[in-house]
């Protein structure tokens, strides 16, 4: 039965939310002194009259790694693009070491010491790794040798494969090329837009380690990330965006353990003690691997499990699995949102449900897979 909200309850929630935003604004004003990059009261959007950011605040001190998390549509990527001049700021200001840079062009911001790595289409696939890095210092070509040595020291694999085309690299290697190209102009602040998106769990961990290494090399980093739990583990400070404003801020550890953040970011799932299931106790739907992962799960939930929207395939699983199984087996769903069934031989999962029969190519494999999918419905 649907929950009915009284008008007084909604008004109380709005008043509490406004009070929290006012508290965050006061905290921002107090802690932003001396910041290398600072944004105050940003109101920005892609279309006139349609604002995505609604008085958003953010600052980054020299040498800090700042993480930005929040629900889908909260304005995380828009905030990064506003800082880099890719989205028009209607109100508010952005300063770099005290200098006003609001709405300046991206190429001007690169020369002033800001680097940006977009989420997608962040390499030139037809160019080699070396040529991609050359494009990174296009405005200062004389510094290529020095900066190339610095980047390949951080990412040795790029130096070993400098003549390989970027289009033939794996997702994690492409991300290294994108970050390396942004570092070629020796930025003081590096903006990363979901660097782990679309990567396997192993490659995600590698990207997070490399991000931390970049920060240790003296570059301030501001990172938007959907893998909120991992982001909060490595960042010095974090922000939780809600409706285009900073709802919560603090150290990564404090935000990861804050029940208010869990309530805002996970909803009622944050109170659950078992993996998400729907329907009967032996049946659950899982999503397509390309769907976004559900972030920031507390420790009492299965590591890596998430709330999956209904997909078009059914798989048999058990509603409750002993913790010993969680620790000794792979999780039902990986942190990247990819379906990862328990290994064959586990009584909870029939062997014929672990993978489709047949090979990966040829008409026989196609027919076998279609028959397998029909049997799963």
CA distance 158 to 126: 16
**pLDDT tens over the chain, length 377 residues:** 444 555 555 666 677 777 778 888 888 988 899 999 999 999 999 988 889 999 999 999 999 999 999 888 899 999 999 999 999 999 999 999 999 999 999 999 999 999 999 998 899 999 999 999 999 999 999 999 999 999 999 999 999 999 999 999 988 899 999 999 999 999 999 999 999 988 888 888 899 999 999 999 999 999 999 888 889 999 999 999 988 998 899 999 899 888 888 776 654 444 444 333 333 333 333 333 333 333 333 333 333 433 334 333 333 333 333 434 333 333 434 444 443 433 333 333 344 444 555 555 566 666 666 776 666 65
Give the separation between CA 171 and CA 162, rounded to whole angstroms.
16
Q: Looking at domain 33-264, which CATH architecture does it have?
A: 3-Layer(aba) Sandwich (3.40)
The domains of the chain are located at: 33-264, 272-377
| Residue for token pair 């008409």 | 363
SS3 labels along 127-170: CEHHHHHHHHCCCCHHHHHHHHHHHHHHCHHHHHCCCCEHHHCC
Which pTM value belongs to this model?
A: 0.69
């Amino acid at each position: 039965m649907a929950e009915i909200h009284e008008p007084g309850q909604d008004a109380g929630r709005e008043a509490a939310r406004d009070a929290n935003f006012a508290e965050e604004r006061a905290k921002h004003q107090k802690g932003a002194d001396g910041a290398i990059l600072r944004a105050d009261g940003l109101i920005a959007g892609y279309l006139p009259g349609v604002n995505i950011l609604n008085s958003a605040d953010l600052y980054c001190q020299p040498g800090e790694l700042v993480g930005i998390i929040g629900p889908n549509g909260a304005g995380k990527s828009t905030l990064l693009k506003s800082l880099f001049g890719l989205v028009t700021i209607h109100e508010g200001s952005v300063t770099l070491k005290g200098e006003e840079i609001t709405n300046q062009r991206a190429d001007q911001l690169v020369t002033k010491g800001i680097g940006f790595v977009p989420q997608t289409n962040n390499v030139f696939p037809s160019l080699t790794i070396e040529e991609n890095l050359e494009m990174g210092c296009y405005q200062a070509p004389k510094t290529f040798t020095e900066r190339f040595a610095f980047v390949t020291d951080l990412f040795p694999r790029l130096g070993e494969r400098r003549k390989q085309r970027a289009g033939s690299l794996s997702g994690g290697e492409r991300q290294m090329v994108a970050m390396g190209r942004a570092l070629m102009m020796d930025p003081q602040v590096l903006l990363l837009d979901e660097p782990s998106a679309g990567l396997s769990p192993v490659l995600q961990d590698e990207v997070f380690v490399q991000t931390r290494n970049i920060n240790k090399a003296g570059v301030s980093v501001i990172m938007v990330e959907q893998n909120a739990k991992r982001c909060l583990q490595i960042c010095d400070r974090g922000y939780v965006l809600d409706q285009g404003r900073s709802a919560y801020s603090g150290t990564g550890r404090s935000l990861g353990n804050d029940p208010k953040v869990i309530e805002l970011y996970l909803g009622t799932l944050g109170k659950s003690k078992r993996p998400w299931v729907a329907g009967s106790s032996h049946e659950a739907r899982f999503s397509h691997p390309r769907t976004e992962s559900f972030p920031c799960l507390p420790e009492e939930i299965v590591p890596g499990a998430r709330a999956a929207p209904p997909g078009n395939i059914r798989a048999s699983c058990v509603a409750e699995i002993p913790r010993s199984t969680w620790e000794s087996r792979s999780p039902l769903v990986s942190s990247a949102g990819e379906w990862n069934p328990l290994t064959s031989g586990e009584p909870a999962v029939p062997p014929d449900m672990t993978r489709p029969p047949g090979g990966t190519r040829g008409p026989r494999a196609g027919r076998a897979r279609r028959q397998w999918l029909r049997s799963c419905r």
